[in-house]
């Protein structure tokens, strides 16, 4: 079965549930190199999107747009904006279609990666969620089955977290902490892993 | 902190209520409590909608310039903080007369990201949008990296020109072209004598000695190019003019509008002392000053200091700059 508005709703519901569980860990990670509210942000995103899931339009692009609107309503934090930018890129690509083949996932991730780089002024290697998006783009190329896609994304994010851990953060508030970020995981990447784990657990 | 307020968290909301209550002929909130201001007669059918947005603390920028011949709507954030994309979408809806929306805003990270997101959202509803981003502060980056510059008081020239073009019935592409032309024609630089205090922070944004000044400072207190002993008005004006003229040549026969802007606490008397110097220098160069503006046009709370903006004109820009416009803070 392709990606539909109904599939989206169940994926987002699983993510929202996972955020309630992961909030404390994300707050703690963020507090080490930021302002310690990433978990709060993710819970707000989860609840905000959760409120619109029962009423998503069939058009996958418009359904994603509705989720983005919900995110921009509940949080103005930079990570929430990055999530919104990534989803909006997918929304544009899916507009006018009630079914989107799973084989497009890699292209949707590529678009999300490009949009967040352009809008967020970050580059690959800066140790942000963009590195994770790009790793997932590569890992999902050629896949067309949801379980395989989610599994590949989970592996890719773990690998990129491992690879980037010895690097310093090069952008955003974390950049100020410089070498203190060496050896630590980027909280934004960990939040992305939580989202993937949420979907994997919901399957 | 010594400020006239009730509660630091209601500072912006109470200010907006008062602004609309004092000037109902110009401004209305889109909903009770909304941090979105629209023209009291918006949307105007068939007219390109002009929208801006940014943090509070800069009046008349941003909300103040909503009015006939100017902007249709503005989204306002907390003091010095970007409004959300959601508020920007609301401002665009309020301004949508069916001919598309032009967003004009300053080059600040949060505003840029949120406006991009807001435009994406509204375009999903098949409302066409364009954007012109002001980057006129020459002190914030060298000419080779002009796209990284902050947007400051030059915004008002883009508002004015675009507002006049939209009122004249020009289409979205043409209004955008003219706004971009105005944006490309302005250069600004500021100098600060004292800090501002953000209500929620409760203390001055930066410390500066009683006998010191800072050249090139940003309107949120971003560091300038040097800090040193206070100078005379003519010496301050000379350096600011030299910097602007090094970035944009003005020669005999050219025409330009100049804005001598108080950052909040500097009185008109001191602005006119500076204008006197600017006028003499431009007269000597053979540059004709058109429509000089001296006063508070873009402020930084109660910061003492001044900014200069030069807008080089051609026949087209001059015509739109002189066209009638009206808001509570500026009448042409």
DSSP 8-state code for residue B147: G
Closest CA to B59 of B7, B10, B15: B15
Check if the beta carbon of residue B60 is closer than 8 Å to that of residue B49.
no
pLDDT (tens digit, 9 = 90+) per residue, B16-60? 999 999 999 999 999 999 999 999 999 999 999 999 999 999 999
Catalytic residue flag (residue B58): yes
Q: Select the more confidently predicted residue: B131 or A203.
A: B131
| CB pair distance less than 8 Å for B85 and A120 | no
Q: What is the pLDDT of residues B68-125, one digit of tens each?
A: 999 999 999 999 888 999 999 999 999 999 999 999 999 988 899 899 999 999 999 9
Q: How many CB pairs under 8 A join A and B?
A: 50
Checking if the pLDDT of A203 tops 60, the result is: no
| DSSP secondary structure letter of residue B145 | G
Mean pLDDT of B132-144: 94
Question: Which pLDDT tens digit goes with each residue over A76-105?
Answer: 788 898 999 999 999 999 999 999 999 999
Looking at chain B, the whole-number percentage of residues with pLDDT higher than 70 is 100
Q: What is the dihedral of CA A9, A10, A11, A16, to 10 degrees?
A: 90
- Which residue from A minimizes the CA distance to B115? A119
Contact B120 A61 (CB under 8 A): no
Name the pTM for this structure: 0.88
What pLDDT, in 10s, does the model give residues A148-173? 999 999 999 999 999 999 888 877 66
Q: Are B114 and B63 in contact (CB under 8 A)?
A: no
Q: Whose CA is closest to B76, among B9, B84, B299?
A: B84
Q: Tell me which H or E stretch contains B80.
A: none
Asked if B109's CB is within 8 angstroms of A121's CB, the reply is yes
- Chain B residues lying within 8 Å of A116, measured CB to CB: none
Q: What's the pLDDT score for residue B222?
A: 82
pLDDT in the model for residue B236: 98
* Pick from B89, B117, B124: CB nearest A81: B117
| Residue B150 exposure: Cα atoms within 13 Å on the Cβ side | 19
- What average pLDDT does the structure give for chain A? 91
Q: What is the pLDDT of residues A47-63, one digit of tens each?
A: 999 999 999 999 999 99
Burial (CB count <10 Å: 0-12, 13-18, 19+), residue B217: buried
**Chain A contact present for B116, CB below 8 A:** yes
B215: β partners: B191, B226
CB contact under 8 Å between B121 and A65, yes or no, is: yes
Note whether A4 and A60 are within 8 A (CB). Answer: yes
Q: Looking at the complex, does the CB of residue B133 fall below 8 Å from at least one CB of chain A?
A: no
Percent of chain A with pLDDT over 90: 73
Distance in Å, alpha carbon of B119 to nearest chain A alpha carbon: 11
Shortest alpha-carbon distance between residue A189 and chain B (Å): 20
Which pLDDT tens digit goes with each residue over B180-196?
A: 999 999 999 999 999 99
Rounded to a whole number of angstroms, the distance from the CA of B311 to the nearest CA of chain A is 29
Model pLDDT, residue A36: 83
pLDDT value at A123 more than 80 = yes
Q: Tell me the C-alpha distance between A19 and A29, whole Å.
A: 14
Interface of A with B in 34-93 (CB under 8 A): 61-62, 65, 68-69, 72-73, 76, 78, 81, 84-85, 88, 91-92
Select from B81, B86, B125 the residue whose CB has the most chain A CBs within 10 Å, as the one to mutate to test that interface. Answer: B86
Three-state SS letters, B182-209: HHHHEEEEEEECCCCECCCCCCECCCCC
Angle between helical axes of B109-123 and A60-74 (0-180°, round to 10)? 150
Q: Is B220 a catalytic residue?
A: yes
């Amino acid at each position: 079965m392709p990606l539909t508005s109904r599939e989206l709703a169940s994926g987002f519901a699983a993510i929202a549930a996972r955020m309630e569980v992961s909030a404390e860990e994300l707050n703690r990670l963020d507090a080490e190199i930021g302002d310690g509210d990433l978990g709060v942000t993710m819970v707000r995103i989860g609840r905000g999107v959760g409120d619109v899931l029962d009423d998503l339009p069939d058009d996958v692009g418009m359904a994603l747009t509705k989720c983005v609107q919900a995110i921009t309503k509940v949080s103005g934090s930079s990570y929430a904006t990055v999530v919104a930018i990534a989803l909006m890129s997918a929304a544009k690509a899916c507009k006018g279609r009630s079914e989107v083949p799973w084989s497009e996932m890699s292209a949707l991730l590529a678009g999300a990666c490009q949009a967040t780089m352009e809008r967020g002024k970050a580059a690959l290697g800066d140790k942000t969620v963009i590195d994770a998006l790009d790793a997932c783009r590569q890992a999902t190329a050629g896949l067309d089955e949801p379980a395989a896609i989610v599994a590949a994304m989970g592996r890719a994010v773990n690998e990129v977290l491992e690879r980037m851990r010895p690097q310093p953060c090069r952008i955003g508030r974390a950049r100020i902490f410089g070498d203190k970020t060496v050896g630590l995981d980027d909280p934004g990447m960990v939040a992305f892993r939580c989202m993937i784990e949420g979907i994997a657990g919901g399957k | 902190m010594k400020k006239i307020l009730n509660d630091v968290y209601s500072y912006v909301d109470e200010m907006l209520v008062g602004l609309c209550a004092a000037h109902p002929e110009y401004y209305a909130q889109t909903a009770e409590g909304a941090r979105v201001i629209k023209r009291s007669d918006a949307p105007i059918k068939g007219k390109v909608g002009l929208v801006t947005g940014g943090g509070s603390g800069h009046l008349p920028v941003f909300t103040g310039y909503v009015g006939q011949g100017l902007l249709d709507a503005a989204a306002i954030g907390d003091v010095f903080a970007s409004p959300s994309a959601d508020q920007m979408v609301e401002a665009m809806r309020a301004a949508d007369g069916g001919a598309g929306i032009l967003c004009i805003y300053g080059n600040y990270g949060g505003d840029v990201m949120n406006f991009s997101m807001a435009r994406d959202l509204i375009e999903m509803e098949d409302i066409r949008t364009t954007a012109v981003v002001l980057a006129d502060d020459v002190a914030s980056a060298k000419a080779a990296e002009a796209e990284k510059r902050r947007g400051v008081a030059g915004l008002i020239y883009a508002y004015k020109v675009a507002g006049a073009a939209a009122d004249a019935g020009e289409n979205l592409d043409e209004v955008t072209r003219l706004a971009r032309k105005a944006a490309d024609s302005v250069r600004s630089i500021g100098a600060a004598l004292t800090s501002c205090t953000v209500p929620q922070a409760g203390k001055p944004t930066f410390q500066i000695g009683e006998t010191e000044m800072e050249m090139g400072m940003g309107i949120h207190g971003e560091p300038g190019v040097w800090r040193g002993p206070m100078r005379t008005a003519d010496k301050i004006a000379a350096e600011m003019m030299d910097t602007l003229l090094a970035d944009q040549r003005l020669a005999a026969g050219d025409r330009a509008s100049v804005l001598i802007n108080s950052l909040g606490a500097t009185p008109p008397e001191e602005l006119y002392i500076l204008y006197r110097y600017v006028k003499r220098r431009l007269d000597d160069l053979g540059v004709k000053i058109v429509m000089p503006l001296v006063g508070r046009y873009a402020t930084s709370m109660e910061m003492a200091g001044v900014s200069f903006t030069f807008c080089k004109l051609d026949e087209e820009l001059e015509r739109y700059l002189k066209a009638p416009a009206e808001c509570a803070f500026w009448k042409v």
